[in-house]
Amino acid sequence: NAGVTQTPKFQVLKTGQSMTLQCAQDMNHEYMSWYRQDPGMGLRLIHYSVGAGITDQGEVPNGYNVSRSTTEDFPLRLLSAAPSQTSVYFCASSYEGGSYEQYFGPGTRLTVT
């Protein structure tokens, strides 16, 4: 099991550029989510999905899009990057319902200049 994988590990973007952060899991988890982590603010939920074809907004969804076409993959798209999106991004997954141990990917450090 590779667990939760994220690519890239690091990325630098210019303001206005677009990009996709990739997230994949091989544990057949229904629930997947994206967080951003900024200093002193803990983790904030951006978007989440409870299964293929189903997505929903979290606490800070603006400026980000997601889709869930397969159980394994949950990409996060930045349509027009802004300096306020400089952050560390974590993807996570878990089984839906029951014991909720959420597994986190290693993170992507994004800088927008």
Partner 1 sequence: EDKVVQSPLSLVVHEGDTVTLNCSYEVTNFRSLLWYKQEKKAPTFLFMLTSSGIEKKSGRLSSILDKKELFSILNITATQTGDSAIYLCALRSNNNDMRFGAGTRLTVKP
Per-residue binder mask for partner 1 (CB under 8 A), 70-89, x = binder = --------------------
Contact indicator for 111, 17 with CB cutoff of 8 Å: no
| 100 forms part of the interface with partner 1 (CB under 8 A) | yes
The CA distance from 109 to 28, in Å, is 26
Task: Determine contact, residues 30/51, Cβ cutoff 8 Å.
Answer: yes
Q: Does 26 bind partner 1 (CB under 8 A)?
A: no
Each residue 4-23 as x (binds partner 1 by CB under 8 A) or -, in order, gives: --------------------
CA 105 to chain centre: 9
φ, ψ of residue 101 to 5 degrees: the values are -90, 115
Residue 58 makes contact with partner 1 by CB under 8 A: yes
The nearer residue to partner 1, 17 or 109, going by C-beta atoms, is 109
Contact between 92 and 35 (Cβ < 8 Å): yes
Write out the residues near partner 1 by the rule CB under 8 A: 31, 33, 35, 40-45, 48, 50, 56, 58-59, 90, 96, 99-107
